[in-house]
Amino acid sequence: MRIIPAIDIIDGKCVRLSKGDYDTKKIYNENPLEVAKAFEASGIQYLHLVDLDGAMSKHIVNHHILESICTHTNLSIDFAGGIKTDEDLKVAFDCGATQITGGSIAVSNPQLFSQWIETHGSEKIILGADCKDRMIATHGWLENSNLDVIDFIKEYESKAIKYVICTDIDKDGMLAGTSNTLYETILSSTAVSLIASGGVSTLDDLKTLKAIGCEGAILGKAIYEGRITLSQLETLC
């Protein structure tokens, strides 16, 4: 299972939120590149970089940070947040993103998102399936939909999506454990490569996600709060 630390960006700084609430913003480092370099030095190969300003603004904002990290590290970066147009997508890839994650765009403009999958391939386009009570949420989790997460994933599986990042919003940033039942349901209902996100607080959480069959696990606050150290992650990389 791939270990994928997350860096969330607001105003150019490394932050974390609780349950996606922007009012709970906590700044952990004012230099995201410094954080990324520390991850790489510990053997980490992958990074989930989220442009929270972009998610709220509905267009890519912090692409310069993506470019800086891509230029100064060898991390394989999945970039998310604010990618709504062909131009946003081009900027992300031009700045060095290995993959991009589309969530809101997959709901609001499925034709365009499906076109991206067809054009760029399922290795480069990830489906973001962020949900609350199994219902998909969009635009930085500020808007709800009437789409069930399993149905949503199945629809895009039929369009050749391979990778899916699923975040249970109620778990995100809470350090209270992961949504194992939800992930088991997704894995038993589909054949996607599932990347679990939200709630990781211990190494046991990561071991459980691996046992369930998740292809990857994203974690952030557990690292920043010292619940899981980079040296501990080094043994799992």
**Catalytic (active-site) positions:** 8, 130
* Distance between CA atoms of residues 16 and 10, nearest Å: 9
* Distance between CA atoms of residues 194 and 214, nearest Å: 5
Are the C-beta atoms of 4 and 48 separated by less than 8 Å? Answer: yes
- Rg of the chain over Cα atoms, rounded to whole angstroms, equals 16
CA triple 190-207-40, angle to 5 deg: 100
HSE value, Cβ hemisphere, 13 Å, CA-based, for 12:
5
- Longest Cα separation, the chain: 43
* Distance between CA atoms of residues 177 and 71, nearest Å: 34
Cα torsion angle, 100, 106, 108, 111, sign: positive
Which helix (H) or strand (E) segment is 141 a member of? Answer: none
Amino acid at 124: K
CA 195 vs CA 2, 67, 129: distances in Å: 9, 24, 10
